[in-house]
Amino acid sequence: MADEAKAKGNAAFSAGDFSAAVRHFSDAIQLAPTNHVLYSNRSASYASLHRYSEALVDAEKTVELKPDWPKGYGRLGAAHLGLGEHEAAVTAYKKGLEIDPSNEALKSGLTDAQSAASRSRPVPPPNPFGNVFSGPEMWAKLTADPTTRAFLQQPDFLNIMQDIQRNPNSINMHLKDQRVMAALGVLLNLKLHNPGEEKADVPEASSSPAERKRSAEAEPMKEPEPEPEPMEAVEEEKEAKEKKLQAQKEKEAGNAAYKKKDFEKAINHYTKAFELDDEDISFLTNRAAVYLEMGKYEDCIKDCDKAVERGRELRSDFKMIARALTRKGTAYVKLAKCSKDYDLAIETFQKALTEHRNPDTLKKLNDAEKAKKDLEQQEYFDPKIADEEREKGNEFFKQQRYPEAVKHYTESLRRNPKDAKAYSNRAACYTKLGALPEGLKDAEKCIELDPTFVKGYTRKGAVQFFMKEYEKALETYQEGLKHDPKNQELLDGMRRCVEQVNKASRGDLTPEELKERQAKAMHDPEIQNILTDPVMRQVLTDFQENPKAAQEHTKNPMVMNKLQKLISAGIVQMR
């Protein structure tokens, strides 16, 4: 991780191992190429190694990534100073102080840069003749001397002397003029001979102590090599903590705005929070929630994707990742317009559950799957085709091709799930195929859809009869007769059930039949409840041991009904 490499770099820098620091910061930059602090730290490390060109490149990258960070300009100034680019260093430090006027490190760096800049400026050589040409004294001395007084009547001489007075260094251009030499001798109180005469010893200005001092000052002083700005890891940590605190305040403000339904304000606060601290993905998930409320589902999905990506980089809590995925799935549900659109939502909810099995997410997944199924049925719904498929099933049923009939009845129900007749016909097919549980389920669904459709009762009663649940089949037939008292199929079914019940009551069952009924009854929840009922247990005991009490029990219809069920099941035999 970048943070681990950064920590190693800081430790190496503190230990004075600047080469190792450069290596570790380079590793960190490979992992986090947009982290401005890493470039700043590597710039300081390069500067400590006097590799100012590399330090400058990293400092410029720091400022590019974070132009409002004052320390970046400190690094930039130090690099320029190390390269001898004093004016550029001054400019860099000044820019940093514009952002943070109270920054002591920048103030100190600016002072050093300005001092170095002033020392590096060229000093003009001193005038060897001092100030002899300045002021009105020059003209007074020239007027007092008889020789030079005559020269003052000559306009060209006056122009030369005025030019020298304005710029004493221009005297070199006029030394060949004997009048100028004579004037110079008068002004210096020296007697200067003509070329034919013996030359006077004119002392050079640089030979005087004052001139030697000025000459020494003119020589540039050797500049001390700039020391790299310290890492200030403690300050960085302090700054990071302050930003995190400020980010939390922005989040709280966003939460308050969200509760007040001030969504735009909430988005601004969450955005600022993430800018201050991009290591807390809750700022993104909260902003996504706002977008969800506003109906900006695409923006919500983008924030959730960003939160998941950043969360995986930071190895955030899996619950936070799950929350982002759940919110994304909710946005997909809102966007769904057809059954296929729910696929993305279902997939996203499933991913969220792999991160954290949250009951709310599970409910959203179940709701999405149900909505998809319902929508599929609506999209597939076609009563006309359903009727055609049911008729095809009827033809196959007549031909005793029951599997093909089941296939067409099933397609009919897909086209029209509310068709009670199709359920009744498929129940008949299942009964013929011996698939009794499936037949019973279809018969019950038929009755549920249309309680007045007596075919449903005949199908259910027939299945129960074949399952040897004669008491239940008898009740089903009786229920059907309430809707059609003269229905012959129901009457015949009821007669067959009564015969089987009476056969058990008379004890006419073969040992095999009795054993089979008893085994089946013991798996029947209703029979189990009767046998565990304390009242019925006492009734059974009285029938064996107390005939008088047993006579009283026979007067209770409820007791007799339960007793009859036990007889039909072969549990109790009457002799």
Q: Is residue 223 part of a domain?
A: no
Shared-domain flag, residues 358 and 407:
no
Q: Do 493 and 534 fall into the same domain?
A: no
> Binning pLDDT at 50, 70 and 90, where does residue 119 land?
confident
Give yes or no: residues 255 and 313 share one domain: yes
**108 assigned to some structural domain:** yes
369 with 389, same domain: the answer is no
Same domain, 14 and 81: yes
Which of 35-39, 155-159, 392-396 has the lowest average pLDDT? 155-159
> Is there a single domain that holds both residue 99 and residue 149?
no
CATH label of the domain that carries residue 92: 1.25.40.10
In a domain, 468, yes or no: yes
Write down the pLDDT at residue 196: 41
Q: Classify residue 214: in a domain, yes or no.
A: no
> According to the model, what pLDDT value does residue 221 have?
47
Do 80 and 69 belong together in one domain?
yes
**How many structural domains does the chain have?**
5
Copy the structure tokens of residue 42. Answer: 């590597």
Chain centroid offset of residue 215 CA: 68
pLDDT tens digits for range 151-165: 888 888 888 888 887
Note whether 316 and 284 are within 8 A (CB). no
- Tokens 């097919």 belong to residue: 429
Question: Domain ends where: 486, 508, 530?
Answer: 508
Given the structure tokens 């966007």, which residue do they identify? Answer: 335
Where residue 559 sits, what CATH number does that domain have?
Answer: 1.10.260.100
Q: What is the pLDDT of residues 398-454, one digit of tens each?
A: 999 999 999 999 999 999 999 999 999 999 999 999 999 999 999 999 999 999 999
More confident residue, 113 or 526: 113
Residues 398 and 294 both lie in one domain: no
Name residues whose C-beta falls within 8 Å of residue 408's C-beta, 6 or more positions apart in sequence.
389, 390, 392, 393, 396
pLDDT for residue 203 is more than 60: no
Residue predicted with more confidence, 422 or 196: 422
The SS3 call for residue 124 is coil
Over range 64-90, report the average pLDDT.
Answer: 91
The residue from 172, 188, 204 where one domain ends is: 188
Give the end of a domain, one of 455, 490, 508: 508
> Is residue 503 in a domain?
yes
175 Cα distance to chain centroid = 84
By CB neighbour count within 10 A (0-12 exposed, 13-18 middle, 19+ buried), where does 6 fall?
A: buried
Within this chain, do residues 183 and 300 fall inside the same structural domain, yes or no? no
Specify whether 503 is located in the same domain as 519: no
In a domain, 393, yes or no: yes
Residue 213 domain flag? no
The 3-class SS string of 9-35 reads HHHHHHCCCHHHHHHHHHHHHHHCCCC
Same domain, 311 and 247: yes
Prediction pTM value: 0.40
User: Using CA atoms, how far apart are residues 85 and 4, in angstroms rounded to an integer?
Assistant: 35
Give the burial class of 302: count Cβ atoms within 10 A of its Cβ; 0-12 exposed, 13-18 middle, 19 or more buried. middle
Unique residue bearing structure tokens 């109906």: 295
Residue 194 domain flag: no
Residue 468: HSE in the Cβ half-sphere, 13 Å Cα cutoff: 16
Q: Which H, E and C letters describe 95-122, residue by residue? A: HHHHHCCCCHHHHHHHHHHHHHHHHHCC
Range of the domain at 495: 381-508
Q: How many Å apart are CA 150 and CA 514, to the nearest integer? A: 166
Task: Give me the pLDDT at residue 458, please.
Answer: 95
Residues 275 and 367 in one domain: yes
